[in-house]
Structure 1
Amino acid sequence: MATVVVMPQLGNSVESCLIVSWQVAVGDEIAENAIVCEVETDKASMEVPSSAAGTVLAILWDEGDDVPVKEPLLVVGAAGEDPQPALDAAGWKGKDGEEVTQTEATPTRAAEEPTVEAATQPERTEATGASSPRARNLAAANSLDISEVAQGSGPGGRVIERDVKATLADATRGAARAGAHGAGVEGTGLGGRVTTGDLSAPTEGGAPQAATPAFVTSGEREFPGASIETPLKGVRKVIAERMMHSLASSAQLTYTSTANAAGLLALRKKLKGSPEELGLSGVTIGDLVGFAAVKTAAKHTNHNAHLSDGVLTTFEQVHMGFACDTPRGLLVPTVRNASQMSLREFSAVSKDLAQQAIAGNISPDLLSGATFTVSNLGGFGIESFTPLLNVPQVAILGVDAIFPRAMVNADGSFGVEQRIGFSLTADHRVIDGADAARFLQDLVRYVENIDVTVLG
């Protein structure tokens, strides 16, 4: 009998996944655990394996669909077998809650364009108020009230990302929001800007005036070579939306400071040569700075906090997120209860999480729940940067490179010392400049006395 493969529960906090791309088509022979599609949550991309071997009989969703966990994804069985009995046994009612026919359940290709039926669903007769996290983030980043989305094409009428995109792409709204000028058309707004009224007003022929975008030309200059257009998808798309949402929803300000790095370098050298059985030889400069940052965040609880819907929540324990560069893009694993760990534990857990993230098999549950984040670009030689908040967090610490700086000795002679830079971004709605300065003062003190800090 045919087997229904369902969307797996990819973490306790995951309610649905967006299908990024199908890796199989109807008629393909697949093995058990073969990858059938790539999906993304609001935090990461993952691959979904098949729970059965056989011929792909039916693919039930299109790329771009937001699929609830435990919902049927596809049907696998013997070649030529009818998938409908298996779907009936699974209680499958179709994407919109209605029985599907044999034709609807068996598209000819897995990666085909969404069906006409899916693209022209009737408007909802009642507002469900449900929307995916990606839809909410995209709407917030573009100052769009999610309730303005006329209809949802997700399961049960749920508003998903493509619905928000469709609303934003509306020519009248888009041109009016951007203040675009129609070609040869004078608007009635300030400075001749075209307004919504201008765009919807009848022309001399009686038809509404369509928005005509203005293009900037390069004269007779030509650009050599070909260009490549690559749609954002997967983790890259998630990062883009989260960063836009971060900037649009918070008041971010970055403060910089430096610390004498002599103690860091000396302790790192000593630990590197320590006995293997102590488990400290692999501790890095990044581990030491991260450990000091955790101690600082534990003291300054207004930095170890979330701000959501006008409510500030401070946390007793520091759950430290750290930016991790992976082949799929930026991920932020969370070292839970970092403020209760020894240096050895902190270093070991951080490395294990980083390896999971780079390998692409980290659980989404380990990519959430951080209360404070550290982003380290010092290894790339960056001396100062502006890290963006991982909202709803209210602070993130950027770790810069260690670099030489001239100094004046007590006897008046000149010398050189190694210093490390820090870039603290804080949400000015709840963290004043003086608060951020005090955080950095304590961090510098912990770093410059790191041999004592790690004993605390």
Structure 2
Amino acid sequence: MATVVVMPQLGNSVESCLIISWQVKVGDEVAVDGVLCEVETDKASMEVPSTEAGTVLAILWDEGDDVPVKEPLVVVGAAGEDPQPALDAAGWKGKDGEAEEAESAAAPVEAPADEPATSAPASSDQPQAAGSGNAGTSPRARNLASSSNIDINAVPQGSGPGGRVIERDVQAVLAAGGTTLAAARAGALPGQGTGLGGRVATADLGKEAPAEAPQAAPFLTSGAREYPGPSTATPVKGIRKVIAERMMHSLASSAQLTYTSTAKAAGLLSLRKKLKGSPEELGLNKVTIGDLVGFAAVKAAAKNTNHNGHLEDGVFTTFENVHLGMAVDTPRGLLVPTVRNASQMSLREFSTTSKDLAFQAIDGKINPDLLAGATFTVSNLGGFGIESFTPLLNVPQVAILGVDAIFPRAVINDDGTVGAEQRIGFSLTADHRVIDGADAARFLQDLVRYIENIDITVLG
């Protein structure tokens, strides 16, 4: 019996998933827990397993589609079985909310020669809803054709199952120049008109076909180098799009101001060296400079509770426990896992948990729920040699600490001689709506004290 497999809710905060790639096609056999597709949420990439075993009878979405959770994703059943009854039972109305047949391996029903392949009526101002010699059109294809005043019959063959015209086929016609309805009825083809991009307009009808225009030579600069040269255009989507939207929202919705300070790093470097050489059974030999700084930052946030809070809808909420967000550089973009209850952890537990979450984020296997709920965030660019930067708030949080590089700075010794000492920089961005400059200064003073006495800080 055919069964609908739905898009799972991959975390309590996930509302939809973007399909990155299908790992199966119609007709493939799939086992329970077999991978159907790779998806991307607004926070991570992961694989979607099948909850049923059998033959893939229908795939309901295209790569690049944003699929709401709990929506039908594929139909699995016995080979040759009709998937439509299962879709009807699930209330499937098509991904555009219109009733449509599943794009399955079943042979399409051919329309009579004198009727369009779909039920959409033709009119003088509406595109024909069928491609030439194809198995019908999808609602998205019809909508795009209608809004662009394109005759969908200009698509000679659809790329969907059974030759069905889908949205990307209409986009291809548009890219080729497009053909207006009136021009299509007169037999004009894309690329033969005087409209934008060679699009055929009604004014071109009745004109004789112009002689083939000479090809324009590419614009060359001195030395016969082509201008502008090779380039790559990449749509901003998935995690990158979410990051862009959140950063713009962060700047537009808060009053951000950044404060900088430095601390002596000799204690950090000395303790790190001791821990690296400590017995392995103590579990401290893998503690990094970043772990020590993060641990100290948690102490500072726990003391300065107005930095450990959320400002949302005019309500400022401060938290007793620090749930630390860690900015992590991953192949898919910036992710911020949350070390929950970081203020209640020992250094060893904090270090182990931080590394485990970072590895999960980099591998794209992290639970999306662990990418939310932070009350204070640390972003460490010191490893890249950055000496100062302006971190952006992860709203609704009201503070974020940027950790800068350790660098040598000249110092005048007590005896008047000039020397050099290692110092580490900090860049604290705070929301001035609830954190005044003096408050931010006190936070940095406490942080500097914790860092310069790190051997005592880790014992607290």
Interval containing the TM-score (normalised by the shorter chain) = 0.7 to 0.9
- In structure 1, the residue matched to 2:388 is 384
Aligned-residue offset at 1:47: 2.7
Query: What is the one-letter code of the residue matched to 1:115?
Result: R
Counterpart check, 1:115 vs 2:119: no
1:58 match: secondary structure: strand
Counterparts of 2:229 and 2:33, CA distance in 1 = 42
Match of 2:245 in 1: 241
Once the two structures are superposed, the pairs formed by residues 70-219 of structure 1 within 5 Å of their partners are 70-95=70-95, 99-102=99-102, 115-116=140-141
CA separation of 1:104 and 1:322: change in aligned 2, threshold 3 A = same
CA contact (8 A) 1:258 1:419 kept: yes
Corresponding residue number in structure 2 for 1:137: none
Residue 451 of structure 2: aligned partner: 447
> Which AA in structure 2 matches 1:327?
P
* Cα shift at 1:303: 0.7
Tell whether the 8 Å contact from 2:247 to 2:392 is kept in structure 1 after alignment.
Answer: yes
SS in 1 for 2:284: coil
Q: How does 1:390-405 map to 2 (within 5 A)?
A: 390-405=394-409
C-alpha spacing 1:410/1:332, structure 2 compared with 1 (3 Å): same
Report the 3-state secondary structure (helix = DSSP H, G, I; strand = E; otherwise coil) of the residue aligned with 1:115.
helix
**C-alpha distance in 1 between matches for 2:107 and 2:62:** 10
1:436 corresponding residue in structure 2:
440
| 1:381-401 residue CA offsets vs partner (Å, 9 max, x unmatched) | 111111111111111101011
RMSD: 2.8
Other-structure match for 2:357: 353
1:342 correspondence with 2:367: no
Mind listing any 5+ residue stretches in structure 2 that lack a counterpart?
A: 109-136, 148-218
* Secondary structure class of the residue paired with 1:302: helix
Scaled by the length of structure 1, the TM-score of the pair is 0.72
Structure 1 residue 450: Cα displacement: 0.6
The structural deviation recorded for 1:440 is 0.7
Deviates more, 1:263-272 or 1:230-239: 230-239
Aligned to 2:4: 4
2:142, 2:20 → 1: CA distance?
Answer: 20
**What do residues 223-252 of structure 1 show as CA deviations (whole Å, max 9, x unaligned)?**
353111111222222212211221122121
Q: Which of 194, 200, 223 is the matching residue for 2:227?
A: 223
Alpha-carbon contact 2:15-2:68 (below 8 Å) kept: yes
1:267 and 2:271 matched: yes
Matched, 1:41 2:41: yes
Aligned match of 1:322 = 326
Shift of 1:358: 1.2
**1:252 to 2:256 alignment:** yes
Partners of 2:338 and 2:372 within 8 A in 1: yes
Q: How big is the shift at 1:309?
A: 1.4
Corresponding residue for 1:156?
none
Deviations 1:395-416 (A, max 9, x none): 1101011111110000001111
Three-state SS of the structure 2 residue aligned to 1:81 is coil
Paired with 1:265 and 1:449, the residues of 2 have a C-alpha distance of 12
Residue 154 (structure 1) aligns with: none
Find the aligned partners of 2:75 and 2:312 in 1 and give their Cα distance: 41
Hey, what's the Cα distance between the residues in 1 that align with 2:323 and 2:106? 46
**Equivalent pairs: percent with the same residue?**
81
Q: Which runs of structure 2 are paired with 1:303-314 in the superposition (5 Å)? A: 303-314=307-318
Distance 1:347 1:267 in 2: 14
Q: In structure 2, do the counterparts of structure 1 residues 392 and 57 end up closer, same or farther at CA, with 3 Å as the change threshold? A: same
Q: How many Å apart are 1:18 and its aligned residue?
A: 3.7
Q: Which has the larger radius of gyration?
A: 2
Query: Separation in 2 of the partners of 1:386 and 1:113?
Result: 47
SS at match of 2:377: strand
CA distance in structure 2 between the partners assigned to 1:120 and 1:317 by the alignment: 55
Query: What secondary structure is seen at the aligned counterpart in 1 of 2:73?
Result: strand
Normalized against structure 2, the TM-score is what?
Answer: 0.71
Q: Contact 2:220–2:227 at 8 Å: present in 1 too?
A: no
Describe the shift of the 1:299–1:32 C-alpha distance in structure 2 as closer, same or farther (beyond 3 A): same
Structure 1: stretches of 5+ with no match in the other structure: 123-217
Q: What is the deviation of 1:434?
A: 1.4
The corresponding residue for 1:365 is 369
CA distance in 2, matches of 1:367, 1:272: 29
2:76 alignment partner AA? V
Q: For 1:54 and 1:352, how far apart are their aligned partners in 2?
A: 36
